[in-house]
């Protein structure tokens, strides 16, 4: 079975382009250059003299070098990417095509509203779709990511209380929360008060009641939470929070589990962000642009960032007239082309299609959970939605940890799942398959996980040194973070020659 495993993408040994080619090779033949260095067309001061070591490669060498480099990584387009909490789903190409349409891609953000009616109409329509999906009244597309949506929401809550002459200092945050939640809260000057999620993995109303008071501005709940579990007491918790005049913020990063099934505005949430780059199919993970639109109930509408995109009959406007607005949170109108992708995705699927996305995401996660629960310890038995969390407890006796399991998965050709998160689970290994994976892909992944569980029992050293088949094997992650090598050093220099 070992002959079959391995990862071509991560095993490429590609030299630097400086090490390729030969003197005199070039990739393009110019019949006649318009400007030639010897002719005096270019002033001497603008000419580089130190061209030593400049790569001289043929066209095929150039193309192969960059194509190979482009494969020198792992991506959703090359394989299964079960990273929990991230919704690494396949992104249909039609969304890219729509975002590439010249009218969208080349639109200048300083154009007056009269010249960009199409773009404004698209944003207005997307806002209405997101309001419908979340059960909220109003939406801003400005925030550039989920964390930015959280910050925007917290700023609006702060503005709401200031406006009423109230000061509140606390925000409740469950212990399963993503780290961005307490960070957003702290950036707005609130202190984050942790709420324990209890042995069943979800919040108990009593625990919230005990902490909720009139100095608490809000509770921030991720639903389903980062254990993949639905917060089933959300409506009662919302009542308890509202009783003391607080807001219920929903971190909607896990919306992929519940589209068309639960509308958070209907069950007591007052505002929530969505991660378009997770749920609504924008490629992400490389630090590229995302979008974290924020949907709110009417009571918070006066504090929305400007400009609002409004509509009067058949005209779309950029409306800056909102005296209580928190102002702008992002240049121009947010990451517009991410919004185009999301709108294309929503239109392609329609309401029933979105619901099917969530149903299949939940089905896939539960399939993996069932198939793996014998080999891997499940810390929480409560039923899960779109992702499930295992631990390394059954492998501990062999000296094998979650890190070793994750690293060994690289040898089997998979991107490792999320590990050691959520923090409340010791040795967590979190898998989110998403709806875009086929039964065959899931079965192959299950086979790999079973094989690794067997290896843990029979040859644990193999796992402790994994990955063994990739070009880069086990790295010292602490040294890599503390003493990064950021510059290419000629090998001879390293060898002291
Ligand atoms: C991803 C995520 C965030 C942060 O979103 P970004 O778009 O990465 O800023 C917040 N909360 C949860 C639960 C998440 O999964």
Instruction: Please check whether residues 44 and 168 belong to one and the same domain.
Output: no
E-strand ranges in 285-380 read 294-296, 308-312, 315-319
Pairing of strands 308-312, 418-419: unpaired
Structural domain includes residue 497: no
In ligand 1, the atom with minimum distance to the C-alpha of 275 is 7
- pLDDT value at 123 more than 80: yes
On the question of a cis peptide bond just before residue 78, with omega within 30 degrees of 0, the verdict is no
The domain tally of the chain equals 3
Residue 2's pLDDT is 43
Instruction: Please check whether residues 426 and 366 belong to one and the same domain.
Output: yes
Structural domain includes residue 80: no
Instruction: Please check whether residues 303 and 400 belong to one and the same domain.
Output: no
Instruction: Please check whether residues 139 and 155 belong to one and the same domain.
Output: yes
140 backbone φψ class: left, alpha, beta (φ>0; ψ -120 to 50): beta
Taking every pair of C-alpha atoms in the chain, what is the biggest distance, in angstroms? 84
Residue that finishes a domain, picked among 324, 348, 372: 348
Confidence of residue 75 (pLDDT cuts 50, 70, 90): confident
Residue that finishes a domain, picked among 321, 348, 375: 348
Lowest-confidence region among 58-72, 246-260, 347-361, 439-453: 58-72
pLDDT digits (tens, 9 = 90+) for 92-115: 999 999 999 999 999 999 999 999
- pLDDT value at 451 more than 80: yes
- pLDDT value at 420 more than 90: yes
Residue 486's pLDDT is 77
CA–CA separation, 429 vs 448, rounded Å?
15
Instruction: Please check whether residues 168 and 62 belong to one and the same domain.
Output: no
Residue 308's pLDDT is 95
- pLDDT value at 395 more than 70: yes
Picking from 391, 277, 430, the residue whose alpha carbon sits closest to that of residue 341 is: 277
CA–CA separation, 131 vs 117, rounded Å?
21
The structure tokens listed for 338 are 């991410």
Structural domain includes residue 78: no
Cα-to-centroid distance, 222 and ligand 1 (Å): 10
pLDDT digits (tens, 9 = 90+) for 145-203: 999 999 999 999 999 999 999 999 999 999 999 999 999 999 999 999 999 998 899 99
Instruction: Give φ, ψ of 170 to 5 degrees.
Output: -120, 155
Structural domain includes residue 416: yes
Cα-to-centroid distance, 462 and ligand 1 (Å): 34
Structural domain includes residue 488: no
| Whether the Cβ atoms of residue 155 and residue 186 lie closer than 8 Å to each other | no
β partners of residue 249: 220, 271
Confidence of residue 407 (pLDDT cuts 50, 70, 90): very high
Residue 497's pLDDT is 41
The DSSP code for 194 is: E
For residues 200, 201, 205, 211, the Cα torsion angle rounded to the nearest 10 degrees is 120
The share of the chain scoring above pLDDT 70, in percent, equals 93
Instruction: State whether the beta carbon of 418 lies less than 6 angstroms from ligand 1.
Output: no
Instruction: Please check whether residues 412 and 315 belong to one and the same domain.
Output: no
CA–CA separation, 481 vs 139, rounded Å?
39
Instruction: Please check whether residues 395 and 303 belong to one and the same domain.
Output: no
Instruction: Please check whether residues 275 and 369 belong to one and the same domain.
Output: no
Residue that finishes a domain, picked among 348, 376, 402: 348
In ligand 1, the atom with minimum distance to the C-alpha of 222 is 13
Instruction: Please check whether residues 293 and 343 belong to one and the same domain.
Output: yes
Picking from 191, 231, 185, the residue whose alpha carbon sits closest to that of residue 208 is: 231
Instruction: State whether the beta carbon of 292 lies less than 6 angstroms from ligand 1.
Output: yes
The share of the chain scoring above pLDDT 90, in percent, equals 77
Instruction: Please check whether residues 29 and 155 belong to one and the same domain.
Output: no
Ligand 1: which residue has its CA nearest to atom 2? Answer: 253
Instruction: State whether the beta carbon of 180 lies less than 6 angstroms from ligand 1.
Output: yes
Helix (H, G, I), strand (E, B) or coil at 94: helix
Instruction: Please check whether residues 301 and 279 belong to one and the same domain.
Output: yes
> Span 57-62, mean pLDDT?
94
Residue 4's pLDDT is 54
Helix (H, G, I), strand (E, B) or coil at 49: coil
Most informative mutation of 84, 85, 154 for ligand 1 (most atoms within 8 A of CB)? 85
| CATH at residue 356 | 3.90.1150.10
- pLDDT value at 291 more than 90: yes
Residue 63's pLDDT is 94
Instruction: Please check whether residues 284 and 136 belong to one and the same domain.
Output: yes
Confidence of residue 10 (pLDDT cuts 50, 70, 90): low
Structural domain includes residue 7: no
Confidence of residue 49 (pLDDT cuts 50, 70, 90): confident
Query: How many C-alpha atoms does 334 have within 13 Å on its Cβ side?
Result: 33
Lowest-confidence region among 42-56, 342-356, 371-385: 42-56
Structural domain includes residue 86: no
Instruction: State whether the beta carbon of 147 lies less than 6 angstroms from ligand 1.
Output: yes
**78 vs 448, more confident:** 448
**144 vs 34, more confident:** 144
CA torsion through residues 53, 56, 60, 62, sign: positive
Range of the domain at 100: 93-348
The structure tokens listed for 112 are 């007056």
Cα-to-centroid distance, 180 and ligand 1 (Å): 7
- pLDDT value at 1 more than 50: no
Instruction: State whether the beta carbon of 222 lies less than 6 angstroms from ligand 1.
Output: yes
Query: How many C-alpha atoms does 423 have within 13 Å on its Cβ side?
Result: 8
Structural domain includes residue 496: no
- pLDDT value at 143 more than 70: yes
Picking from 252, 290, 298, 297, the residue whose alpha carbon sits closest to that of residue 85 is: 252
E-strand ranges in 151-254 read 170-174, 191-195, 216-222, 247-251
């Amino acid at each position: 079975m070992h002959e079959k495993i391995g990862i071509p993408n991560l095993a490429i040994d590609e030299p630097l382009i400086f090490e390729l080619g030969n003197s005199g090779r070039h990739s393009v033949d110019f019949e006649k250059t318009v400007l030639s260095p010897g002719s005096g067309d270019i002033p001497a001061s603008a000419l580089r003299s130190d061209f030593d070591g400049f790569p001289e490669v043929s066209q095929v060498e150039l193309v192969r070098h960059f194509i190979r480099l482009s494969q020198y990584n792992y991506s959703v387009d090359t394989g299964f990417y079960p990273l929990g909490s991230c919704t690494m789903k396949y992104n249909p190409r039609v969304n890219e095509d729509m975002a590439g349409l010249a009218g969208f891609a080349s639109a200048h953000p300083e154009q007056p509203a009269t010249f960009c009616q199409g773009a404004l109409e698209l944003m207005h329509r997307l806002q209405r779709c997101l309001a419908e999906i979340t059960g909220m009244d109003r939406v801003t597309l400005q925030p550039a990511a989920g964390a930015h949506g959280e910050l925007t929401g917290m700023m609006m809550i702060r503005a709401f209380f200031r406006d009423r002459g109230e000061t509140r200092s606390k925000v409740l945050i469950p212990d399963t929360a993503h780290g961005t939640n307490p960070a957003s809260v702290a950036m707005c000057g609130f202190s984050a008060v942790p709420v324990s999620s209890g042995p069943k993995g979800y919040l108990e109303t009593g625990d919230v009641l005990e902490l909720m008071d009139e100095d608490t501005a809000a509770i921030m709940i991720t639903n389903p939470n980062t254990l993949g579990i639905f917060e089933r007491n959300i409506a009662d918790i919302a009542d308890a929070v509202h009783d003391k005049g607080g807001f219920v913020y929903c971190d909607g990063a896990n919306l992929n589990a519940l589209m068309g099934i639960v509308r958070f505005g209907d069950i007591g949430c007052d505002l929530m962000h969505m991660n378009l780059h997770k749920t609504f199919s924008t490629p992400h993970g490389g630090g590229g642009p995302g979008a974290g639109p924020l949907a709110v109930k009417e009571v918070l509408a006066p504090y929305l960032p400007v400009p609002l995109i409004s509509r009067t009959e058949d005209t779309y406007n950029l409306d800056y007239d909102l005296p209580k607005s928190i102002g702008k949170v992002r240049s121009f109108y947010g990451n517009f082309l991410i919004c185009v992708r999301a709108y294309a995705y929503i239109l392609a699927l329609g309401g029933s299609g979105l619901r099917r996305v969530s149903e299949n995401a939940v089905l896939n996660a539960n399939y993996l959970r069932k198939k793996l629960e014998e080999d891997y310890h499940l810390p929480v038995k409560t039923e899960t939605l779109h992702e499930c969390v295992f631990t390394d407890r059954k492998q501990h006796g062999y000296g094998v940890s979650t890190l070793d399991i994750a690293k060994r998965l690289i040898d089997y050709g998979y991107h490792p799942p999320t590990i050691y998160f959520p923090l409340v689970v010791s040795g967590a290994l979190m898998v989110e398959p998403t709806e875009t994976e086929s039964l065959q892909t899931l079965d192959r992944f299950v086979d790999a996980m079973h094989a690794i569980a067997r290896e843990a029992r029979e040859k644990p050293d193999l796992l402790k040194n994994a990955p063994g088949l990739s070009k880069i094997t086990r790295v010292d992650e602490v040294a890599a973070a503390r003493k990064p090598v950021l510059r290419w050093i000629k090998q001879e220099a390293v060898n002291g020659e």
